[in-house]
Structure 1
Amino acid sequence: MASLGRFLPRVFQFGTSKTACKYFETAKVTERLCSTFRRAQPTTRLTAYSHEFPELLPEPEPEYPGYTVSYEEFKYVERLLPMETVPPPPENVLDGNPTPSGWIAPRPESRQLPYFVHRTKNHMLPIYLEVRNAQTRIVTKLHKVDGNIWKLEAELRAYLEENWQPRIKTQVHEVSSYIIVKGNCCDHVCKFLLSKGF
């Protein structure tokens, strides 16, 4: 009980309440546990009983096979990893003819027009179909427009009125550089841009 002297001032501070009794009982249990751990042996000797209790023996460390560091075979791994950037199209498809997948490269003469439509990072035309309000609002959006966007909208409107439907509703967003056409006319807009060389 000599080691419990550090707990007595706090017990007397609590008085004879239930809190003081619980605090004193906790201190006694803590002291008993500490003395028990001090008497316990740090390790248990199982050498004399290894023939009777083999399952109590520690498992031997596994033997791992050796390895070598090789950088020559990493080329077989690199071709399986995804590319960090989209590679440029090959030279043999830049002649303007469609590839087996239907993709057509932009032509150089498109740079001479007063407006320009950039391709996406995947080398695709920036034409998007937007469906909202439970399919009651369907519009076609043409993004990445540079130059005279108003002239592009006028020529696109004339092309759609001739090849799609007579009455076309469009909206030009000059700050964000895109054009909105009411309805689903992605195929017609794509044909118009390809005819211009974009």
Structure 2
Amino acid sequence: MLGSSLRIFSPRAVSRLSFSTTSVEKAEKLWENPWKHALPEKSRSLATVEEAPIDWSYVERLMPIEVVPNVPEHEKYPTPSGWTPPTEAAKTHQYYIRRRHDHLLPLYLERKRDLLNEKTLDFDYVELVTIRNVDGDIFACENDLRSYLEEHLGHSIASHVDELKGRIKIKGAPRVLIEQFFYSKGF
């Protein structure tokens, strides 16, 4: 069987066959771009494209402001809300409190569960004030803040310093007193 198949492809049989290589040489080879030969050419498209004018002004109003606005000017300070701009006195300290993008102090209030109240069998909650964006000597800031709060409150407070993140957590003091301390220092 193998011998009979070899006879078919013998050199004599191949010489008798005539191949036309002119069409293959002129055209692109099939394996170089198979998609060109597999897909029919498009003569026209049934879909038309038309660009509609869009008014983006409504969307642009919802986008956040890319540039932080300047500090607003007021007739007198503090404003009715209690806000004051930073002063030059803030540059004289060993530490600095960077304000947020809306020009407010970075003070955040969080409530955490504290001890169990034995009379009501319910948990009491404690308020912690977190001060972020503290640059410079964070321990000097914590000491000044603690002495100010203990002087005004009349009792000791708990504090925790996270030097790597630049944060101070205060337990047992209202946020308003902490805000007054930083405003009095010029931050």
Equivalent residue number for residue 188 of structure 1: 177
Residue 163 of structure 1 aligns to a residue whose secondary structure is: helix
| Distance in 2, Cα, partners of 1:165 & 1:190 | 18
Equivalent residue number for residue 128 of structure 2: 139
| Distance in 1, Cα, partners of 2:158 & 2:124 | 18
| Distance in 2, Cα, partners of 1:154 & 1:96 | 31
Deviation digits for residues 6-52 of structure 1 (CA, Å, limit 9, x no counterpart): xxxxxxxxxxxxxxxxxxxxxxxxxxxxxxxxxxxxxxxxxxxxxxx
Residue 170 of structure 1 aligns to a residue whose secondary structure is: strand
Query: Residue 126 of structure 1: which of 106, 110, 119 is its match?
Result: 106
What is the CA-CA distance between 1:88 and the residue it aligns to?
A: 1.8
Runs of 5+ unmatched residues, structure 2: 1-52, 114-122
1:89 aligns with 2:89: no
Residue 181 of structure 2 aligns to a residue whose secondary structure is: helix
| Distance in 2, Cα, partners of 1:168 & 1:197 | 23
- Return the structure number with greater strand share: 2
| Distance in 1, Cα, partners of 2:92 & 2:174 | 26
Equivalent residue number for residue 13 of structure 1: none
Q: When the two structures are aligned, how many residues end up with a matched partner?
A: 126
Deviation digits for residues 123-156 of structure 1 (CA, Å, limit 9, x no counterpart): 1111111102265232111111000111111111
Retained in 2: the 8 A contact 1:126–1:142?
A: yes
Q: Percent identity?
A: 33
Query: Residue 166 of structure 1: which of 151, 155, 158 is its match?
Result: 155
**Counterpart AA for 1:169:** A
Retained in 2: the 8 A contact 1:149–1:177?
A: yes
Task: Identify the range of structure 1 (77-86 vs 183-192) with the bigger mean alpha-carbon deviation.
Answer: 77-86
Deviation digits for residues 173-198 of structure 1 (CA, Å, limit 9, x no counterpart): 11111111112420110000000000
Runs of 5+ unmatched residues, structure 1: 1-68
With CA pairs under 8 Å and 6+ residues apart, which has the higher RCO, 1 or 2? 2
Residue 128 of structure 2 aligns to a residue whose secondary structure is: strand
Equivalent residue number for residue 106 of structure 1: 86
Q: TM-score, normalised by structure 1?
A: 0.54
- Return the structure number with greater helix share: 1
What is the CA-CA distance between 1:109 and the residue it aligns to?
A: 2.0
Distance 1:105 1:79, change over 3 A: farther
